[in-house]
Amino acid sequence: MRIRVINPNTTASMTTTIGEAASRIAAPGTEIVATTPKSGPVSIESHFDEAISAVGMLEEVMAGEREGADAYIIACFGDPGLLAARELTRAPVIGIAEAAFHMASLISTRFSIVTTLGRTGIIAEHLLDQYGFRHHCRRVRAAEIPVLDLEDDGEAALTRIIEECRRARDEDGIGAIVLGCGGMADLTGEISDAVGLPVAEGVTAAVKLSEALVGLGLGTSKVGDLAFPRPKAFTGRFEHLSHMPPRT
Amino acid sequence: MRIRVINPNTTASMTTTIGEAASRIAAPGTEIVATTPKSGPVSIESHFDEAISAVGMLEEVMAGEREGADAYIIACFGDPGLLAARELTRAPVIGIAEAAFHMASLISTRFSIVTTLGRTGIIAEHLLDQYGFRHHCRRVRAAEIPVLDLEDDGEAALTRIIEECRRARDEDGIGAIVLGCGGMADLTGEISDAVGLPVAEGVTAAVKLSEALVGLGLGTSKVGDLAFPRPKAFTGRFEHLSHMPPRT
Amino acid sequence: MRIRVINPNTTASMTTTIGEAASRIAAPGTEIVATTPKSGPVSIESHFDEAISAVGMLEEVMAGEREGADAYIIACFGDPGLLAARELTRAPVIGIAEAAFHMASLISTRFSIVTTLGRTGIIAEHLLDQYGFRHHCRRVRAAEIPVLDLEDDGEAALTRIIEECRRARDEDGIGAIVLGCGGMADLTGEISDAVGLPVAEGVTAAVKLSEALVGLGLGTSKVGDLAFPRPKAFTGRFEHLSHMPPRT
Amino acid sequence: MRIRVINPNTTASMTTTIGEAASRIAAPGTEIVATTPKSGPVSIESHFDEAISAVGMLEEVMAGEREGADAYIIACFGDPGLLAARELTRAPVIGIAEAAFHMASLISTRFSIVTTLGRTGIIAEHLLDQYGFRHHCRRVRAAEIPVLDLEDDGEAALTRIIEECRRARDEDGIGAIVLGCGGMADLTGEISDAVGLPVAEGVTAAVKLSEALVGLGLGTSKVGDLAFPRPKAFTGRFEHLSHMPPRT
Amino acid sequence: MRIRVINPNTTASMTTTIGEAASRIAAPGTEIVATTPKSGPVSIESHFDEAISAVGMLEEVMAGEREGADAYIIACFGDPGLLAARELTRAPVIGIAEAAFHMASLISTRFSIVTTLGRTGIIAEHLLDQYGFRHHCRRVRAAEIPVLDLEDDGEAALTRIIEECRRARDEDGIGAIVLGCGGMADLTGEISDAVGLPVAEGVTAAVKLSEALVGLGLGTSKVGDLAFPRPKAFTGRFEHLSHMPPRT
Amino acid sequence: MRIRVINPNTTASMTTTIGEAASRIAAPGTEIVATTPKSGPVSIESHFDEAISAVGMLEEVMAGEREGADAYIIACFGDPGLLAARELTRAPVIGIAEAAFHMASLISTRFSIVTTLGRTGIIAEHLLDQYGFRHHCRRVRAAEIPVLDLEDDGEAALTRIIEECRRARDEDGIGAIVLGCGGMADLTGEISDAVGLPVAEGVTAAVKLSEALVGLGLGTSKVGDLAFPRPKAFTGRFEHLSHMPPRT
């Protein structure tokens, strides 16, 4: 099976990090195709960055439909464009925030999230509400690291993340930690060792959830609100999206 | 004061309908600038349409910042890109779904929504949850009319909407109805007369809420998650969004 | 249009403060009639004070119906008697707590309330629950000032309110503050300047929401639980309320 | 011990009905003092009726404090003025709606409410929310009987209540029924026999909860928001409430 | 009437403590039969202990059905096996956690729980959610005392419990405290005196709630999910549970 | 890896059905060990059956710890004893209800449950609440089939399940169905084909989630409330559980 792992930001080195973490965790026989959108922000740290990134991410799903994919992963912790992506395909589409929440809730009764910038905390809160994990999460914490520092100044970033995870462990009454950024995909082991708690990370979790759904023969429901979008005209820079052949 | 009313879809005739409804309700001294994005879907009937439309909508906010605007309205019932838009400006930004919910909750204890297509109902449900109006809304109903039928076959559409509104009145135990599509902005009076219930409609409600906030000197908070986005590079078709001058 | 602003307590100087704040914010053409009930507590600082104050407030609504009013404002942060008042009129009736919550939620994703006495915090909590804003509010804080200190020892009161607002800003992760007392209606600007956050205040917010609803032609729904009360006998000191002519 | 059962409406025959039901259920040694306020509505069927009735009810609590009472019951299903009444005394104060909810939740996992008029259903819904029983209640139903019909046309009223209770039993998936009006206090046995479900009724439930709390030595907490109200001036018709001696 | 008070753990001295506390509070005419299961853990401090203890507790209910009982109390704060026990009898069955929550919510608007070990806090949280008291409880606190220390080192345990209760009083903004262990049944008065807050304790509360329900003629509903279990075969060590005679 | 699939009831033919369904879906390299407790009910159709079955299930986990297991599945839709089981092991433990909910929520925005007997619906409701999926589930439906009819009269049972699933599809506005009984593990394909909706079934879902967690190196957190139980004495028939060696 082939999983298309879409890094919604356009920083290729982060796509590499994410792709490698995905490949390491993938089952034999699972091919990871890690892709970077052609257009979009170099990092996603705001509602605005999220909204813009969704377009490139969706085009990567459409590319996957042409090139063949058995599942898709949206590798940004805000799960930007998740429901839109699901409309485009019969394959499963997994966001890394939801993936980490699901996994953390299966191994602990309460977890905390450690993310990058405090301003993105509200995005996690909205997702916890929508997905149903509000009460499983004790606290959304931020290490106050810009996303690209994970690439550019990894050591310092790791130190601060571990510090914040330790505070979560000591103050929040939790059993597990959720890492709140796709760029942390390669840090899970190190953090877990340093903190002494299980750490749920979204990219790796999403790979295994994708394999699980494909193994079950389950894909995105095409009945109801996740059915293929009604074909229609798009104008201007999005004209190429017009009149997608109707699929049912 | 000048309110920029952004119709996130690219059907100019619907922008006209919306703009006229906004102008009719606007206070003396309020200038309505109704705009259509250069790029995007001709109607918004899915999560996918919403995600794409957000880009053109956000560019209209940026245009408003250059041309001057005291408030912004996002005239699609899913409030696509609302929080992203708020990050771009100190002015208030109002979505028409939230506007209608707020107004309906002030004149009744329970309301129902009558929207276009059933598949968009989940979008309304997610907004009710996020905004806090879940328990004020008894039921989300659909007349099962494609959005553009409101433009193309208005009489038939109106008949079906009124029928569904009457079912809501008779079955749901409500005091008011919320119309679930920007394209219904000119139908409020006719529907309210036919149904015998107050009808909250989002475009008109958003105009008055915008005037209210501007009158109060209240704009989008620039502290916390709605602060201006951190300037950064965008690539490809979104390169023009790069390095917006930092604003604080 | 004429808005009847009812201060449910019987301290005339506070009615003047409230009326002046309302007049300053009112649109041209909006007449503010600020009234004090003939009977009731001089300040409202408990469930008991609220219950008693509701009677005088409701009589002021009835007076407004006789004298003419296009909207009513209940200018006490507990919104005492709000649903009862709505039953008495086709005009909109706005409580200042709800008004402030609505406005704060349109300019920020999370706010805190700063009120007078801690013992009234539960009133705000119950309103947040009933109106749907529980999750928008991070924390209900009290400056521990008796209400009438706002009139009698304004400088000291202002200092303590500002201190508590700063703590809210620094500790709560919020984008806006809601002031939790009608007697603070004239302090908004000063507090916002001192704290560096948008401040939503109920009296002024309610004036603009009233103008908005009247502008929309929306009044209290007379279908369902907010319909006019069934006429009936009242005894004793409330005999004058008997057999109000049936209205439909 | 002496329980003061306050019928918040001023229909003496209903007070008698309520008092007799309370006496029948009371333990040996429990004295029931059933009282009617001097002033107020003859029945309570709206938010307005509730607000007015609260005053007479609170004065009956104050009379109870003078005359001696070990517990108070507010015998109207909307629990009008409940928290205000609690502020006035160290004794327990029980509303009949809450009493019925508590008891029903102890003998079944889900119940439905059958009340008088549909327009009062929202009052029950708000109480379910505030008390925490929203999910225990499947449905709020109304027999559409004016309250005084329970006194004036008891047979017909009973027939309609039983019909609605049977519908609840057959359609709602419940284990118990809550009767939603103090005036039904003497009908419990007949309804339960006719419907074949346990029936929780508030007046009788409140008597036993009062006995329980007194037996436990538990009274209303005087720490926090239910402490005695701060003494202060009241004006006009409520001047007699001024300067209640401070109690702690 | 006879109440069978079942201590689900097998420490006889704790059963004695519980039985004596129950007897002291019981009304004249109420007989307390305090029982210890033949099999089970000596204390209940984990989900595992709870699950095992449920069997012995249920057998005590079956014994009660043979020997005669008018009500049952499950005297462990996690209310282990509560719904299962209700299936076995027409009598009321009360858990001590629910009993304490109900009572505390009738005398205060907010309470905190002080329990033994922090690891059992999640059990209390799940019960608060299921019963509907989540928002009435500000905080679940632990004195970090093993349950049997209440028996073996009572003085030291009491000191730590009082310390934690005082922290709750000073930090949580509450009006009452809920004691979170059946083994504290005899400490209520001392703690309340030391802390200056009403203290709701489950064993005593459950006795009075049992008396209340029996007095009302209310027992566990046999309609719906609490009906008698369908008779069936059990194997192995549970063969004696097979083919219980069908009861309806 | 080896997954121990525990059928908590003692009907060996159902264990076979479950084990075969698990084996068919398992990845190469995954060994399924399907086990039946030595003691317990032949089917689980009540809170009582659940409580008793938990003991045998837990002993199967303890057996797994001795014999070696990388993950455990509790193959009854009420997830009996789930948190207790988690305390006994570092391996992941998955309940089939939670597994099905997780999977259904990843491929649809709303699902309905179709279970066996209506009286078990409340068990599903409580789990939906505890796990956070209340709003993802539109309705809990029952085919009103005793569990063992799935073994004894499979054709008739299947027909009724499909009928109920079709009603769910036509009336509930859903995108997927959750099958509410472990005994339906082999029916997924047939039902999905007949109904035209994706069908999430718990046994198969739990196998893939177990593989996912093991692949991620994630096991039950041993920090906090899921830590190994404190060793202690058990009496009577449970004496063999005494003094389990402390593990950390």
Q: Are C105 and C170 in the same domain? A: yes
- C-alpha E124, offset from chain centre: 12
pLDDT level of residue E248 (50, 70, 90 thresholds) = low
Q: What is the pLDDT of residues E75-113, one digit of tens each?
A: 999 999 999 999 999 999 999 999 999 999 999 999 999
C247 in any annotated domain: no
Flag whether residue D132 sits within 8 Å of chain B, measured between CB atoms. no
Q: Are D7 and D82 in the same domain? A: yes
Q: Are E123 and E217 in the same domain? A: no
For chain D of 248 residues, list the mean pLDDT of each consecutive stretch of 10: 97 96 96 97 96 97 97 97 98 98 98 95 97 97 90 89 97 97 92 97 98 98 95 95 76
Whether the pLDDT of residue A248 is over 90: the answer is no
Whether the pLDDT of residue B198 is over 70: the answer is yes
Residue in A closest to E118 by C-alpha: A173
On average, the pLDDT of chain E sits at 95
Q: Are C78 and C110 in the same domain? A: no
- Whether residue C110 and residue A129 make contact (CB cut-off 8 A), yes or no, is no
The residue behind tokens 């349109």 is C106
Query: CATH code at F52?
Result: 3.40.50.12500
Q: What is the pLDDT of residues C231-243, one digit of tens each?
A: 999 999 999 999 7
Interface of C with D in 187-226 (CB under 8 A): 224-226
E181 in any annotated domain: yes
Q: Could you tell me how many residues make up chain E?
A: 248
Q: Are E13 and E89 in the same domain? A: yes
How many domains does chain A fold into?
2
E212 in any annotated domain: yes
Identify the pLDDT of residue B154: 84
SS (H, E, C) F88-101: CCCCCEEEHHHHHH
Best to test chain F binding among D107, D134, D135 (most F CBs inside 10 Å): D135
Q: Mean pLDDT throughout F205-229?
A: 97
Whether the pLDDT of residue B84 is over 70: the answer is yes
Identify the pLDDT of residue B148: 86
SS (H, E, C) chain D: CEEEEECCCCCHHHHHHHHHHHHHHCCCCCEEEEECCCCEECCCCCHHHHHHHHHHHHHHHHHHHHHCCCEEEECCCCCCCHHHHHHCCCCCEEEHHHHHHHHHHHHCCCEEEEECCHHHHHHHHHHHHHHCCHHHEEEEEECCCCCCHHHHCHHHHHHHHHHHHHHHHHHCCCCEEEEECHHHCCCHHHHHHHHCCCEEEHHHHHHHHHHHHHHHCCCCCCCCCCCCCCCCCEEHHHHHHCCCCCCC
C246 in any annotated domain: no
Whether the pLDDT of residue B248 is over 70: the answer is no
- Whether residue F110 and residue B122 make contact (CB cut-off 8 A), yes or no, is yes
Report chain D's C-alpha Rg in angstroms: 17
pLDDT level of residue A246 (50, 70, 90 thresholds) = low
pLDDT level of residue F151 (50, 70, 90 thresholds) = confident
Q: Are F89 and F101 in the same domain? A: no
Identify the pLDDT of residue E77: 96
Using the 8-state DSSP alphabet, how is residue A32 labeled?
A: E
Q: What is the pLDDT of residues C91-123, one digit of tens each?
A: 999 999 999 999 999 999 999 999 999 999 999
- B with E: touching (≥3 Cβ pairs within 8 Å): no
Chain A closest-CA separation from residue C126 CA (Å): 20
Residue in F closest to E36 by C-alpha: F235
For residues D244 and D231, the answer to whether their CB atoms sit within 8 Å is yes
Q: Give the whole-number percent of chain A exceeding pLDDT 70.
A: 99
Q: Are C87 and C209 in the same domain? A: yes
Q: What is the pLDDT of residues E146-168, one digit of tens each?
A: 888 888 888 899 999 999 999 99
Q: Are D113 and D67 in the same domain? A: no
Q: Give me A25's structure tokens.
A: 């965790």
Identify the pLDDT of residue F246: 61
- C-alpha C96, offset from chain centre: 3
Best to test chain B binding among F109, F134, F136, F170 (most B CBs inside 10 Å): F109
Handedness of CA F46, F48, F49, F50 (dihedral sign): positive
Q: Give the whole-number percent of chain E exceeding pLDDT 70.
A: 99
What ipTM does this complex have?
A: 0.96
Among partner residues B45, B87, B130, which is closest to A47 by beta-carbon distance? Answer: B87
Task: Encode C186-217: b = buried (16+ Cβ within 10 Å), e = exposed.
Answer: bbbeebbebbebbbbbbbbbbbbbbbbbbbbe
Chain D closest-CA separation from residue B7 CA (Å): 37
Identify the pLDDT of residue A192: 96
E246 in any annotated domain: no
Q: Are B108 and B174 in the same domain? A: yes
Identify the pLDDT of residue A115: 95
Q: What is the pLDDT of residues A163-191, one digit of tens each?
A: 999 999 999 999 999 999 998 999 999 99
Nearest-angstrom CA–CA distance, C69 and C5: 10
Identify the pLDDT of residue E73: 98
Chain A closest-CA separation from residue E64 CA (Å): 35
Q: Are E90 and E101 in the same domain? A: no
On average, the pLDDT of chain C sits at 95
B247 in any annotated domain: no
Identify the pLDDT of residue A146: 87
Nearest-angstrom CA–CA distance, E50 and F238: 13
- Whether residue E109 and residue C129 make contact (CB cut-off 8 A), yes or no, is no
pLDDT level of residue C164 (50, 70, 90 thresholds) = very high
Residue E224 sits in which domain range? 2-96+205-241
Q: What angle do CA B38, B44, B45 make, to 5 degrees?
A: 160
E120 in any annotated domain: yes
Q: Mean pLDDT throughout C1-8?
A: 97
Q: What is the pLDDT of residues F168-199, one digit of tens each?
A: 999 999 999 999 999 899 999 999 999 999 99
- Whether residue B229 and residue A81 make contact (CB cut-off 8 A), yes or no, is no
pLDDT level of residue C167 (50, 70, 90 thresholds) = very high
Whether the pLDDT of residue C69 is over 70: the answer is yes
Q: Mean pLDDT throughout F6-30?
A: 96
Identify the pLDDT of residue D154: 84
B248 in any annotated domain: no
Q: Give the whole-number percent of chain B exceeding pLDDT 70.
A: 99
- Whether residue B221 and residue C176 make contact (CB cut-off 8 A), yes or no, is yes
Identify the pLDDT of residue F163: 97
Q: Are A225 and A160 in the same domain? A: no
Residue in F closest to D109 by C-alpha: F122
pLDDT level of residue B147 (50, 70, 90 thresholds) = confident
Identify the pLDDT of residue E245: 67
Q: Are C193 and C105 in the same domain? A: yes
Whether the pLDDT of residue B245 is over 70: the answer is no
